[in-house]
Amino acid sequence: MRLPKLQHERRSGARRTNVDARTALRARLEAHAARRAAGELISLARLVGSPVRDFSGRRVGSVDDITVRWTDQDTHPPITGVIVRIGHGLVHVGIDAVDLHHDRVEHRTKSVIVDTPTRHPGAVALRRDVLDHQLIDVAGAQVVRAADLYIVVAGGAASLVGVDVGVRAYLRRALPGGGPRRPSPVRMIDWAELVAFVPRSVDSATGEEAPDPRAGDTPSGATAGHPAGDMPRRATAGEPADDTPRRATAGEPADNTRSPKTARGTGAARTAAAGEVGGAVRLSVGAHELHTLSGGELTSLMEELGRNQQSGLIASARPTAAAAALSSLDPAARDALLAELDPADQRRLRALVEKESA
């Protein structure tokens, strides 16, 4: 899927000082395409809190989050489901069972299968894990925060296509009645050009970090790889013996789809709410793109990132660039960062840093 490039700000090197006629024409065409595309975009920020209606149009809950699956095969992560808030409880509904609209989610069929939301490898909850979090715009070599995420439904499939990093998009959420009903992205970046950080998975059964089956071509495990399995996975921790996904019908009261109390009471639900392990992060699918960054650019990025993200970045960067970036740090900060890497990576990077210093 190709997304019109609305505006892309490069931090260094390619800042244009003279806008020639050709560029202006291109900008107008892009703006036109962007306006057209904007009408098709579904704003996550707007969707969260919107009503979820059953087949008969009755409200059964509200959207709490949207889940996606990150794989190497998909430039734009496919939406896998919707986490629905029913009373105080949360349930997960697969994307096959619902239609996403700008301001609501509707059950596609008379009955839907719901499941307890849980975090597992390969699955990411957009509101919880990505919205408002730091992302790396690889092409622009800058750190940004996601003010809104945009979803496009095309050919019956929904996918995450872009991120708005503009202050205006954030203010639309922050100010009462702040802005237009439809998204009007101004500083949108194609998801394919971003690297995101998400918490390492937590096994819902044990509460321990789940084995990440991803394998990457970068120095450590903090990288992208392959999906772990299907979504949604059924939770087991604290679940009643009968943990089969429930089928709800249109006429059924909302709390019969899965008791909110049950959902709230399960260990899995609590884990999903807590959801992460000590701030450890892994990188999203575009991590290998970090190999295009130079040492200087890595240094600039690291100055704007939290330390957990810094270690993820270093682990996934080109070793020579990582060593150059590490060389520019204070020895204490460098040691702290290196200590969070795998021993083999530590040794290799230390050797490169010493070589660089020499």
Partner 1 sequence: METLDRSPAPPPAAPARRPWWRPGKLVAVLAVLGPGLIAANAGNDAGGVLTYASAGAQFAYKTLFLMVLVTVALVVVQEMCSRLGAYTGEGLGGLFREQFSARSATGALVLLLIANVGLTVSEFAGVGAAMEILGVSRFVAVPIAAVVLWALTVLGSYSKAERIFLILSLAFLAYPIAAFLGHPNAKEVFSNLVWPHFPHTAEFAVLAVALIGTTITPYMQFYVASAVVDKGITPAGYAKERVDTVMGAIWSDVVAVFIIIATAAAIGGTGPLQTAKDAAAALTPVVGSAAPYLFAFGLLGAALLAAAVVPLSTSYAIADAAGAPRSVSNSLREAPLFYGLFTFQIVVGAAIALAPGNLVALVINAQVLNGFITPVLLTYVLILANRRSVLGDAVNGSRFRVVATVSVAVVAVLSFLVLLYTVKGLF
329 binds partner 1 (CB under 8 A): yes
72 binds partner 1 (CB under 8 A): yes
Residues 166-195 that bind partner 1 (CB under 8 A): 167, 170-171, 173-176, 190, 192-193
Q: Considering the complex, what minimum distance in angstroms separates the CB of residue 333 from partner 1?
A: 3
Candidate ranges 61-69, 126-134, 152-160, 229-237; the one touching partner 1 (CB under 8 A): 126-134
Cα separation, 81 vs 214, in Å, equals 22
Site size toward partner 1 (CB under 8 A) is 72
Calculate helix-pair angle for 319-327, 295-303, nearest 10 degrees: 60
Burial of 46 (C-beta count, 10 Å sphere; 0-12/13-18/19+): buried
Residues 43-62 that bind partner 1 (CB under 8 A): 45
Residue in 34, 126, 143, 188 binding partner 1, rule: CB under 8 A: 143
Question: Closer to partner 1 at the Cβ: 164 or 239?
Answer: 164
Phi, psi at 61, each rounded to 5°: 175, -165
Q: Considering the complex, what minimum distance in angstroms separates the CB of residue 214 from partner 1?
A: 15
Write out the E strands in the chain. Answer: 42-43, 51-53, 59-69, 79-86, 89-94, 98-100, 105-107, 111-115, 123-125, 134-137, 142-145, 148-154, 157-164, 188-190, 194-199, 246-249, 281-283
248 binds partner 1 (CB under 8 A): no
Cα separation, 334 vs 341, in Å, equals 11
31 binds partner 1 (CB under 8 A): no
Calculate helix-pair angle for 319-327, 307-316, nearest 10 degrees: 140
266 binds partner 1 (CB under 8 A): no
Binding mask 82-121 for partner 1 (x = CB under 8 A): ----------------------------------------
Binding mask 282-321 for partner 1 (x = CB under 8 A): ---x------xxxxxx-xx--xx-xxxxx-----------
State the distance between the two ends of the chain, measured CA to CA, in whole angstroms. 47
Q: Considering the complex, what minimum distance in angstroms separates the CB of residue 312 from partner 1?
A: 10
The CB-based long-range contact list for 31-35 (8 Å cut-off, 24+ gap) reads 31/6, 33/4, 34/4, 34/6, 34/185, 34/188
Q: Considering the complex, what minimum distance in angstroms separates the CB of residue 218 from partner 1?
A: 15
2 binds partner 1 (CB under 8 A): yes
In the beta sheet, which residues pair with residue 85? 62, 90
Sign for the CA dihedral angle at 258, 264, 269, 275 comes to positive
- Which uninterrupted H or E stretch holds 269? helix 267-274
Question: Closer to partner 1 at the Cβ: 249 or 327?
Answer: 327
Candidate ranges 10-18, 32-40, 151-159, 208-216; the one touching partner 1 (CB under 8 A): 10-18
Binding mask 336-355 for partner 1 (x = CB under 8 A): xx-xx---------------
Question: Closer to partner 1 at the Cβ: 114 or 313?
Answer: 313
Amino acid at 151: I
Q: Considering the complex, what minimum distance in angstroms separates the CB of residue 208 from partner 1?
A: 12
Calculate helix-pair angle for 319-327, 331-339, nearest 10 degrees: 140
Question: Closer to partner 1 at the Cβ: 74 or 243?
Answer: 74
Question: Closer to partner 1 at the Cβ: 34 or 324?
Answer: 324
196 binds partner 1 (CB under 8 A): no
